[in-house]
A and B are shown apart, each in its own frame.
Chain A
Amino acid sequence: MKRLLQWLDDRTGYRAWLGRGLLAPLPGGPRWHYTLGRVLVFLFLVQILTGFFLWMAYSPSETTAWESTYYLTYRMEGGQLLRGLHRLAASAMIVLLLLHLLQVVVSGAYRPPREITYWTGLLMLALVFKLGLTGYWLPADQKAYWSTQVVTSVVSLLPGIGPQVKQLVLGGARYNHHTLTHLAAIHMGLLPGALALLLWIHLAQRRRHGPLLRVGESAEPRGTYWPDQVWRNALVALVVLGALIVGVLYYFPPELTAPAQPARGFAAARPAWFFLFLFRFRQAFESWGPRGELLGALVIPGLAMLWMFLFPLLGRRRLGHAFNVVVLLVFLGTAGYFTALALYEDKHDRQFQNAKWLAHRETQTALALARQGIPPQGARWMMNHTPQGRAFYLLAGSCLKCHSYSDAQGRGFVLAEPSAPNLWRFASEEWVAGLLDPQKIGSPHYFGNTPLKEGEMASYVRDDMPEAEDDQGNKLFTPEAIQAVAAALAAEAGYPGLDPQRVQRGRKLLADDSNGCAQCHKFHDAGDLGSAPDLTGYGSREWLVGMISNPGGERFYGHLDAQQQVMPAFLAGEEGASAEAVPREVIQALVDLLLADRRRASP
């Protein structure tokens, strides 16, 4: 062994190399705050390792990027951990890089003769942001696609070369297969390669100039880099790694939204969190037109970056240094402010929350379909051609234009001005009880914004029902009786866990054609069609399919005139069918979606 090492040393001189670096005495001794930079190097290695294995399973093309990401995340064991770790480590790198920048500027370690260390560091910061950006785009999901669109559109605003740069990045006029092969090569080859080169210069410079000691600190060597500093680095690296793994497993699982839908749009589009400041900052300039967009998204951030490059020139003087520190704090503060502003505004923006809810449901639909196998045409085709996929888009694009779909706590999809009843837990006990409540039937939750607000049912509930009596002169619709009717209808709809006695009592009232519901409604053998919707099987799968297919049919609202009957038919081929009308199996899938939701606690 000794002879082998001697042989190696004769040829490489590694002992001298180690002696100059690792084993050299450490001026001023080891420090905990030196570990920050080293942990960043460690995170870069984590990204190379995890990234390599993701690369082994990822396939860049328009019909395989989402699909392979789905497979490597959810179908391969340990996929969520692997991709989650890569994703969270990227975020951690951004946070720690900014802290490192702050540390370097505040301590003055950017000043001569350490300019090159500082400049390479800044360049690496820019590269890590670009790695984050391209990494966010690779899965080709909805978020990635729309982010790609926004960023490349901004780039195309660059005077002169903009459109060409955009086309080069995209590999064509529009998003296509080569967009993803380009992004993969940039993300997996170009950027990490450039980062490694800069890191090498950065570390060589760091070694050459040694640590920056505080004024009055003894430069007397205490200990050596190995092991005195290294064990500290390793300990901090392990703590960070542990935190990342716990973070992935319990708080931040990797995300994959539905496959990109260029023709459908995506109202929940947002950049990754570390670009949120730019997203919001740019908005502040939107009223200035394309010039303003360019200013907010590229020019001002670019100038800020350039200014930071000039810190070493100003930092020679003490006042200049103080000024630099203030400028950096202002930059970071501004970015922090706009990030917080964007998060705050989104949280209180009902439309955005609705979009987020829809995006979540779209994702669930896509993942459930993908589990059954993705057709060779790809996941977008799957979403646009299977009944389940089309049912989701029918819900999002048609039903939820008029109906809300939210529980009492406001969770789910809430329209500010719904023009049709809330569909959440339609025909359940509490839904029917609300409809039969004189206070509630005229609210937006039910008929409030529909022509039926002044219809026969509403006036019956408000005026006649409280007065209705049976043949003996007893009040017919006591609170218990209304609950019973609600239970009986919920039983028709197929809701489980109802009180059988209550249901029995409700059925009698429903079928009562002298004083009860069957005066107007048909209910099994009692009553007739033609003056009110059929309550037989009310809210059941078959009833709902019929209702959505053609609400103006005899069984449903055919008795209303054209001004009152506003919901169009959704079955293709029906008379007066909506422009969004679909085949029967799509309506069935939509109803199945609604029925499956009845098992959920909230939308």
Chain B
Amino acid sequence: MSDSSPPASTGAQGPPPGNRRSFLASLAAFFGSTLALLVPLAVGVNHLLHPLRLRRRRKGPRVPFVPVAPLDQVPDDGRPRRFPVVQESWNQWTYRPQVPVGSVYLVRRKGEQVPQAFNSRCPHAGCTVGLGSGEGEVAFLCPCHKARFQLDGTVITPSPSPRSLDELPCRVEEGMVVVQFQNFVVGVQEKIPET
């Protein structure tokens, strides 16, 4: 119908004055052609919107605690150590029961039983934060834009990162460190969970 659905301008030009039948025919031609093409377009767009609807539905269930490492593998002198987080993962049709989905830093200070857990993702742009020295002592250092964080996660200003490292709820259960692993929206000051 490349030549039967003209630009709207033709419709806007209107029919010859005084020709009522022709005006109705123009209306029918314009809206009929438009509708005929809009319906298949709508069928396709509706299909494409699937991920947005999925996101709305997924809100609700609590973030589960996942085991990350045995407590005795976490140094008790305050040095941070990074552990992968292995979880089940859905990738459209593919299901993997065990796959690394991210990593966390566990920091256990002298004399403390329960470590502190940080998501290793930099709150600035989402790179994985490494370790480096700043002001003479060990600190978190992001390789991408040099954001630095103290060992308790606090951002060292001035910094490209809008907030401190994202701390995650952490417990010790039967000798295993379990963490409520979650990613947060990067680039903003507030800590907003990603859906």
Contact = CB atoms under 8 A, between A and B. Distances in A.
Interface of A: 1, 5, 18, 21-23, 38, 41-42, 45-46, 49-50, 52-53, 56-57, 67-68, 70-72, 75-79, 81-82, 85, 199, 203, 207, 225-231, 233-235, 237-238, 241, 245, 370, 372-376
A21 B36 contact: no
Interface string B19-47: 00010011011111101110111011111
B62 interface: no
Contact of B48 (A18, A45, A53, A81): A53
A241 B2 contact: no
Interface string B78-115: 00000000000010111110000000000000000000
B94 A375 contact: yes
Interface in B42-62: 43-50, 53
Contact of B94 (A85, A203, A374): A374
B4 A233 contact: yes
Nearest to B30: A227
15 contacts: A1-B12, A22-B10, A49-B37, A68-B93, A71-B93, A77-B53, A82-B46, A203-B3, A225-B4, A226-B26, A227-B30, A233-B33, A234-B35, A238-B32, A374-B95
Contacts of A76: 47, 50
Contacts of A75: 92-93
B134 interface: no
Contact of B36 (A23, A234, A374): A234
Contacts of A82: 43-44, 46-47
B6 interface: yes
Given A67-B93, A241-B40, A376-B96, A229 B4 contact: yes
Interface of B: 1-6, 9-10, 12, 15, 22, 25-26, 28-33, 35-37, 39-41, 43-50, 53, 90, 92-96
Contacts of B9: 5
A237 B32 contact: yes
A227 B44 contact: no
Kindly name the residue among B12, B47, B94 whose own CB sees the greatest number of chain A CB atoms within 10 A. B47
Nearest to B50: A76
B3 A22 contact: yes
Given A22-B6, A75-B93, A234-B29, A53 B1 contact: no
A237 B53 CA distance: 31
Given A42-B36, A85-B40, A67 B29 contact: no
Nearest to A230: B29
A231 B33 CA distance: 8
A78 B45 CA distance: 10
A8 to B, nearest CB: 9
B92 A234 contact: no
A74 to B, nearest CB: 10
Given A22-B4, A238-B36, 4 more contacts: A49-B41, A77-B49, A226-B29, A373-B95
A374 B22 CA distance: 58
A50 B1 contact: no
Given A70-B93, A77-B53, A373-B90, A226 B6 contact: yes
A53 B70 CA distance: 47
B25 A231 contact: yes
Contacts of B95: 372-375
Contacts of A231: 25-26, 28-29, 32
A241 B33 CA distance: 12
Given A203-B3, A372-B95, A49 B44 contact: yes
Given A18-B6, A227-B22, A231-B32, A57 B47 contact: yes
Kindly name the residue among A21, A53, A75, A245 whose own CB sees the greatest number of chain B CB atoms within 10 A. A53
Contacts of A233: 1, 4, 33
Q: Is the interface of A mostly helix, strand, loop or mixed?
A: helix
B1 A373 contact: no
A170 to B, nearest CB: 25
Nearest to B90: A373
A68 B50 CA distance: 14
A82 to B, nearest CB: 5
Contacts of B50: 76-78
B67 to A, nearest CB: 22
Contacts of B2: 41, 45, 199, 203
Contact of A227 (B3, B28, B41, B96): B28
Nearest to B32: A234
Contacts of A375: 94-96
Contacts of A72: 47
B1 A45 contact: yes
Kindly name the residue among B9, B25, B44 whose own CB sees the greatest number of chain A CB atoms within 10 A. B44
B28 A237 contact: no
Given A370-B93, A376-B96, A235 B32 contact: yes
B28 A235 contact: yes
Given A45-B1, A49-B37, A79 B94 contact: no
Given A5-B9, A374-B95, A53 B36 contact: no
B46 A77 contact: yes
Closest 4 A-B residue pairs measured CB to CB?
A373-B95, A234-B32, A53-B44, A227-B29
Contacts of A45: 1-2, 37, 40
B33 A56 contact: no
Contacts of B30: 227
B4 A234 contact: yes
A117 to B, nearest CB: 14
Contacts of A228: 22, 25
Contacts of A41: 1-2, 4
Contacts of B53: 77
Given A50-B44, A82-B44, A230-B29, A373 B6 contact: no
B44 A52 contact: yes
Nearest to A240: B36
Contacts of A70: 93
A148 to B, nearest CB: 22
Contacts of A56: 48
Kindly name the residue among B4, B22, B41, B94 whose own CB sees the greatest number of chain A CB atoms within 10 A. B4
Contacts of B15: 227
A21 B48 CA distance: 36
B94 A376 contact: yes
Contacts of B49: 77
B10 A18 contact: yes
B45 A227 contact: no
Contacts of A199: 2
Kindly name the residue among B29, B41, B49 whose own CB sees the greatest number of chain A CB atoms within 10 A. B29
A486 to B, nearest CB: 44
A234 B40 contact: no
A165 B37 CA distance: 38
B96 to A, nearest CB: 6
A184 B188 CA distance: 41
A81 B47 CA distance: 9
A310 B98 CA distance: 64
A42 B1 CA distance: 5
